[in-house]
Amino acid sequence: MNIRKAITKEALSLSLNARDKNGIIEELVDLLDHSGRIADRKAVLKCVLEREKKMSTGMHNGLAIPHGKTDTVEGLVASVGLIPEGVDFQCMDQQPAKIFILTVSPANRAGPHIQFLAEISRLLNRADVRRRIVEADSLDELHALLTGE
């Protein structure tokens, strides 16, 4: 899985407006929709919200990775949004989430999702990288930090 292929500048936000879990997920889905990366906004939103009901995707270190699977996408796509001051996303470490990475992948293929999570986890395991992402001043800078370009 190539992070560069999954994340485009058009599906990034330096400052999400929503301050609750469902609103954040909806805004991230809208980024994918407006960027032309998904064909069925309603199906994508439904699969991500259903997955989130099963267990929170709030991780550690200010990171949340809401995700879902649907046959309405041909390959893994992702959107990324920031809330620099952080919000409650029911993270495992009980800390506020600041970096939100939403992924949607085909229902019948687990490989791309697992590979993407491994790559993004390696990148975001570093505190200095997370700090630089949250402090990004432009979509170009955010995209470069996420993709290594």
Residue type, 9: K
Q: What residues pair up with 104 in beta bridges, in sequence order?
A: 68, 77
Q: Tokens 């996303």 appear where?
A: 89
Quick check: 37 and 7 in contact, CB under 8 A?
no
Q: Give Cα separations from 88 to 21, 28, 46, 96 (angstroms).
A: 8, 16, 21, 5
Q: CA-to-CA distance for 42 and 58, rounded, in angstroms?
A: 22
> Catalytic site residues?
67
For 119, counting Cβ atoms within 10 Å of its Cβ (0-12 exposed, 13-18 middle, 19+ buried), the class is middle
